[in-house]
Amino acid sequence: MSGDKLAIGIDLGTSGARAVAMAEDGAVVATGAAKLSSHSDDHRDPIGWWKAVQVALVEALGGIDRQNVAALAIDGTSGTMLPVDQGGAPLATPMMYNDPVADRALLDAVSAHVPRESAAHGATSGLAKLLAFQSRPGVFRVIHQADWLAGHFTGLYDVSDENNALKTGYDPVTRSWPDWIEKTGARVDLLPDVLPAGAPIATIAPAAAEAFDLPAEVVVVAGTTDGCASFLATGADQPGDGVSALGTTLTVKMLSDRPLFAPEYGLYSHRIGEMWLAGGASNTGGVVLAEHFSPERLATLSAEIDPAEETGLDYYPLVRPGERFPVSDPNFPPRMSPRPSDDATFLKAIFEGIAGVENLAYQRLMSLGGPRLRSLRSVGGGAKNVAWTAIRSRRLGVPFLPVLSEEAAAGTARLALAGARKAGVL
């Protein structure tokens, strides 16, 4: 095939849509973006979702030769669901990823039958939302946000991917909907068919090809969640590749050659191809820094730090008691004393403490059966701090590699490329 074939990745996040056109070598050649607020006053409005996706896609397509597009994939927010009729029309206001089901009887049915290691626990799970939606008159399927958007390109509203389906109870090990789901009272006939992330779904529907002036042979590929897409965007692709997100909190994720499940840490694994993406979230991170320093003061003090020397202080930085991962304890106490009189030393000790938590998090993943950490990529605001990066590099002792992209849409474009290769169109 021609070397100029392209894949399109679309990301619908909490605030807007992004589209990326990616060449076969992974280079991003065009992008597009649209804010949800520009198309709807309600972030739960699926028509607003679709309008934002269209605007972002058209903007990206405007920077390329559309006839070179070979594949397309979409990611959405994990756990966002809606009931639809056979033509894909929404039958109720969607429930977002963080919208809880309030019906106690439904939640009791879920908790009574969901295995410990499943990701389908809790009031915000996809399974709880299935139970809440399944009695809608005329319901054909209860599907995830990414499924619904992909359906606009295929005409199929009964297909999902292994990542979005995880919180609805899908078993990624057996690659099936497990028998226990029916015991909760769920209508299993409303569950979508599930494909591996990156697997071809179908060629683009004629109406969609015409609407976007795309070739009739474009392959629509099973997408993923926004979180998994963000990981894939970095370029991490081998067992032992880790990605740390240094934002308000610290999140660590690592590719593994085997699934890791540890309910006590809220840890489960997404299946991506024949690899597994496992990770956890700590309560430490930028929230602790913001508690003590303004952004300006943080920048000034960081420039005064010599990262080559240890303070000797053993902090576990938290703003209040309670930790999720790598320690699972709702009463776990912060450890941030003694406090040095010098603010730069205090900041350095916090940096060291967060780096220590990060190191412990990867050690925890290894102790639960994951591979040895072989490399690290860093995203989020904290990744730009040179002194902190040097402290983290010394503490973790693995190569720190550049991030190819922090755009979730770029990760989804990588899945689209993989699907195009499987379909033989690249």
Is 402 part of any domain? Answer: no
Is 261 part of any domain? Answer: yes
Shared domain check, 58 and 188: yes
According to DSSP, the β-strands at 219-225 and 69-76 are parallel
pTM: 0.94
Residue 312's CATH number? 3.30.420.40
Is 401 part of any domain? Answer: no
Shared domain check, 165 and 27: yes
Range of the structural domain that residue 71 is part of: 6-228+408-423
Shared domain check, 276 and 199: no
Shared domain check, 246 and 203: no
- Give the model's pLDDT for residue 3: 54
Shared domain check, 413 and 334: no
The domain total for the chain is 2
Shared domain check, 169 and 26: yes
- Give the model's pLDDT for residue 148: 98
Shared domain check, 357 and 303: yes
Shared domain check, 146 and 169: yes
pLDDT < 70: residue spans in the chain:
1-3
Shared domain check, 200 and 156: yes
Is 292 part of any domain? Answer: yes
Is 55 part of any domain? Answer: yes
Is 64 part of any domain? Answer: yes
Shared domain check, 174 and 138: yes
Taking only the tens place, the pLDDT of each residue in 176-190 is: 999 999 999 999 999
Torsion of CA 280, 282, 287, 293, to 10 degrees: -120
Shared domain check, 223 and 319: no
Shared domain check, 317 and 203: no
Is 37 part of any domain? Answer: yes
- Give the model's pLDDT for residue 161: 98
Is 182 part of any domain? Answer: yes
